[in-house]
Chains A and B, each alone.
Chain A
Amino acid sequence: MIKYCITYLCAALAVTTLMFSDAMAQTKPLRIEITQGVIEPMPFAAPVFVAENAAARKYAQELTSVLAADLVGTGLFREIPNAAHISKVTNFNAPVQFADWKAINAQALITGAVHVSGSKLIVKFRLFDVFSQTALGDGLQFVATTNSMRRMSHKVADAVYSRLTGETGYFDSRVVYIAEEGPKNNRQKRLALMDYDGANVRYLTDTSSIVLSPRFSPNAREIIYTSYETGSPRVFLMNVDTLKRRILGDQPAMAFAPRFSPDGAKVVMSLSERGNADIYMVEVATGQKKRLTSSPAIDTAPSFSPDGSKIVFESDRSGGQQIYVMSVKGGSAKRISSGGGRYGTPVWSPRGDMIAFTKLNKGRFHIGVMRTDGSREKLLTASFLDEGPTWSPNGRVLMFFRETAGANGAPSIYSVDVTGRNLRKVKTPTFGSDPAWSKLLN
């Protein structure tokens, strides 16, 4: 596989020349700030990528629409539809007719070309600032197999997003979740994997056992989750490629709420013995276990800080559920949540700056964020039941699940900006709950 990579790299270098004389001359780059929540999305045009040979034609349209959907889905960008375009891009290397794009108020222009060679798909793109008539960054080329077309779209969209926002993207990523079917009093659950946008759903288990709260390892090759396949809840580790699974270490008691450390070497989880749930850290390689909390209260839902030094978790040691932070070595914990109501499922942002949580207050559920010291709490959503936030790879978006009320109530997966804008439902073939977002794929 490595040999294959290198071969392709060389071949591509030999045949590709993308030249920009003015990329360096740019003084004020086209930039959209995403910290405060965007009210007016930036208009862009993404004419259908040029199919450079006949075999590429069937990919060009979908490839372009997937990357446009990625950008529009952020709420930061607005696509100017093809019908409004004055210029048609038929040659990737032809000069850009900036006046034509300016006339339709496209601030950013994405052009691209697709070439198919055997089972290889070669995608090139360029990004332009229409008003200053300059290229934003270098042209990029991606090479992959044709069945990875959507991933190539996501990679192009990540590059565009990154150049226009100054942040890394989050499109070339996956989500593991629980697919649910059947009536509320006989719900069937399966472990499922999908692209971040709901495409390419794959089921990793059947419905014979309850499965809950899956989480990715840092490289997204393994999933840690809770399963009842032994009859009671146990934490399992599954390889995503082989689907081989094993109970992680020695679990003499009911185990749940697992989550990986940032380096993937450890897992934190709750073990409940004699009705008392405490937090343990388990070495993935050896199964060696260390107890981190020992209060008679419920201590659960642990999550590492991205530097691996701290753990945020929930506990009802002061009465109701609240959020606490402790050292990764255990010991004393500091309560950080202080508002009214109960707080659960804390998750540390990959940027390290915030903690997302579920809040229950006056019969309503919210997804919220706060600083890691508990200050500046902000509630992003409200419904009958919103639960279980998970961070996008760049820490700018949260996914969670929302369950509707009543006898026909069922869960769906949603996403929302950390600013509270751009609430969207992620389309899944079945009901969906317990989403967990991967890091950007390699």
Chain B
Amino acid sequence: MIHNLVKISAVIICSIGLSACGQKTPGAYGEMGDVIGAKTGDISDPTSLAYFQQTIGDRVLFTVNESTLGQDAIDVLDGQANWLIQNTQYGVTVEGHADEQGTREYNLALGARRASAVQNYLVSRGIADNRVNTLTYGKERPIEICSTEVCWSQNRRAVTVVNTNLGS
């Protein structure tokens, strides 16, 4: 039996029309990140952002996969809370981060959990709920880049970023 079935398939492909994507010159980071572009003022001025970041300390660190606050963290956060009580014109965004030793989705959730731990503590110290936002970067924004515990310990952090554009 002659078997001459010919299967034909017409394939029509629409080329995907893409408009050229504008290339932005990257800043320190696309998002807020840890780098604050605003003037931070004089570190000797206790109302300045520089004082908040450097004298009080804008970040707390965590152990692997944990979001509990150790005594060092609590000391820093007490200082942050006192500063916020003195400087009522500011709100903050707490940015939670993870080290690279975790999967992407889990680290996003972990960063959120760490940011929330800091938020909860600041609120418990009398800061109004609506002055403290949270954000997670997961493992997307390491500040230290080696692949050992020396760097990982610095990357497992929650950074309290003072919002300078309140009301805008």
Interface, chain A (partner B; CB < 8 A): 1, 4-5, 8-9, 12-13, 16-21, 23-24, 138-145, 147-148, 151-152, 155, 182-188, 190, 193, 202-210, 212-213, 226, 228, 231-233, 240-243, 254, 256-257, 270, 272, 274-277, 298, 300-301, 314, 316, 320-321, 344-345, 358, 360, 363, 384-385, 387-388, 403, 405-407, 409, 434
Residues of B within 8 A of A1 (CB): 12
Contact of B8 among A143, A205, A213, A276 (CB under 8 A): A143
Contact B116 A275 (CB under 8 A): yes
Give the A-B pair count, Cβ closer than 8 A.
Answer: 212
Determine whether the beta carbon of A407 is less than 8 Å from that of B146: yes
For residue B125, CB closer than 8 A to chain A, the reply is no
Q: A298 contacts B110, CB within 8 Å?
A: yes
Known: A152-B11, A213-B104, A405-B147. A275 touches B115 (CB 8 A): yes
Beyond A19-B2, A206-B21, A207-B23, is A344–B30 a contact (Cβ under 8 Å)? no
The complex places the Cα of A138 from the Cα of B2 at a distance, in Å, of 11
Assembly CA distance A276 to B112 (angstroms) = 8
With A5-B10, A407-B145 given, can you name 14 additional A-B contacts, CB distance below 8 Å? A19-B2, A140-B8, A141-B8, A143-B8, A202-B18, A243-B18, A256-B109, A270-B105, A272-B108, A275-B115, A275-B120, A300-B109, A321-B103, A321-B106
Per the bound structure, the CA–CA distance linking A301 and B109 in Å amounts to: 10
| Chain B residues with CB under 8 A of A406 | 145-147
**Quick check: A24 and B1 within 8 Å, CB to CB?**
yes
Q: Which residues of B contact A8 (CB under 8 A)?
A: 10
Q: How far is the CA of A202 from the CA of B105 in the complex (A)?
A: 25
Of B37-45, B76-84, B135-143, the segment with at least 4 beta carbons within 8 Å of chain A is B135-143
Query: Cβ of B137: which chain A residues have Cβ within 8 Å of it?
Result: 210
B42–chain A nearest beta-carbon distance, Å: 28
Say yes or no: B113 contacts A276, CB within 8 Å: yes
Known: A147-B13, A320-B65, A321-B103. A13 touches B113 (CB 8 A): no
- Residues on A with C-beta less than 8 A from B105 are 213, 256-257, 270, 300-301, 314, 344-345
**B147 interface neighbour in A21, A205, A233, A409, Cβ under 8 Å:** A409
Instruction: Decide if A142 touches B11 in the complex (CB within 8 Å).
Output: yes
- Contact partner of B117 (CB less than 8 A), chosen from A16, A193, A275, is A275
Chain A residues within an 8 Å CB radius of B115:
275
- List, in ascending order, chain B residues with CB within 8 A of A213's CB: 104-105
* Contact residue among A16, A184, A208, A344 (Cβ-Cβ distance under 8 Å from B24): A208
Chain B nearest CB, measured from A233 CB (Å) = 7
Q: How far is the CB of B99 from chain A (nearest CB, A)?
A: 11
**Residue from the set A9, A254, A385 with the largest chain B CB neighbour count within 10 Å:** A254
What residues of chain B lie closer than 8 Å to A242, measured between beta carbons? 17
Establish whether residues A314 and B112, one from each chain, have CB atoms under 8 Å apart when the complex forms.
Answer: no
Q: Using A143-B10, A184-B145 as known contacts, say yes or no to A210 and B109 having CB atoms under 8 A apart.
A: no
B167 touches A (CB below 8 Å): no
Q: Can you report 28 residue pairs joining A to B where beta carbons are below 8 Å apart?
A: A8-B10, A9-B10, A13-B6, A21-B3, A138-B5, A139-B6, A147-B13, A185-B145, A203-B18, A206-B24, A209-B31, A210-B31, A212-B104, A241-B16, A256-B108, A256-B109, A257-B108, A270-B105, A275-B112, A275-B116, A298-B109, A301-B105, A301-B106, A345-B105, A360-B103, A387-B103, A388-B103, A406-B147
Residue in chain A with minimal CB distance to B112: A272
In angstroms, Cα B7 to Cα A140, docked, is 5
User: Which 9 residue pairs are nearest across A and B when measured between Cβ atoms?
Assistant: A275-B116, A277-B109, A405-B147, A344-B103, A144-B11, A272-B112, A298-B109, A148-B13, A206-B21
* A21 pairs with B16, CB closer than 8 A: no
Q: Which residues of A contact B22 (CB under 8 A)?
A: 206
Contact between chains at B12 and A145 (CB < 8 Å): yes
B133 CB → nearest A CB, Å: 9
Per the bound structure, the CA–CA distance linking A12 and B100 in Å amounts to 56
Chain B interface (Cβ < 8 Å from any Cβ of A) = 1-19, 21-24, 26, 28-32, 65, 67, 100-106, 108-110, 112-117, 119-120, 134-137, 140-147
How far is A270 from B103 in the complex, measured between Cα atoms in Å?
Answer: 14
Choose one: B5, B28, B116; the contact of A186 (CB below 8 Å).
B28
In the assembled complex, the Cα of A155 lies from the Cα of B120 at a distance in Å of 57
Q: How far is the CB of B166 from chain A (nearest CB, A)?
A: 15
Q: For the complex, give the distance between the alpha carbons of A233 and B134 in Å.
A: 11
Q: Which residue of B lies closest to A174 (CB)?
A: B16
B6 near A16: Cβ-Cβ < 8 Å? yes
Contacts A203-B21, A403-B100 given: A277-B112 contact, CB under 8 Å?
yes
Interchain CB contact under 8 A, A254 and B135: yes
CA–CA, A344 to B137, complex, Å? 18
- Given A182-B26, A385-B100, A407-B146, answer yes or no on A298-B106 (Cβ-Cβ < 8 Å): yes
- Residues B145 and A314 in contact, CB atoms below 8 Å apart: no
Do A138 and B136 form a contact, CB below 8 Å, given A147-B15, A406-B146, A407-B146? no
The one of B4, B65, B143 in contact with A17, judged by C-beta atoms closer than 8 angstroms, is: B4
Chain B residue contacts of A232, Cβ below 8 A = 135-136
A277 to B138, CA, bound (A): 13
A140–B108 contact, CB under 8 A? no
- Give the distance in Å from the alpha carbon of A204 to the alpha carbon of B17 in the complex: 10
- B37 nearest CB across to chain A (Å): 15
B106 touches A344 (CB 8 A): yes
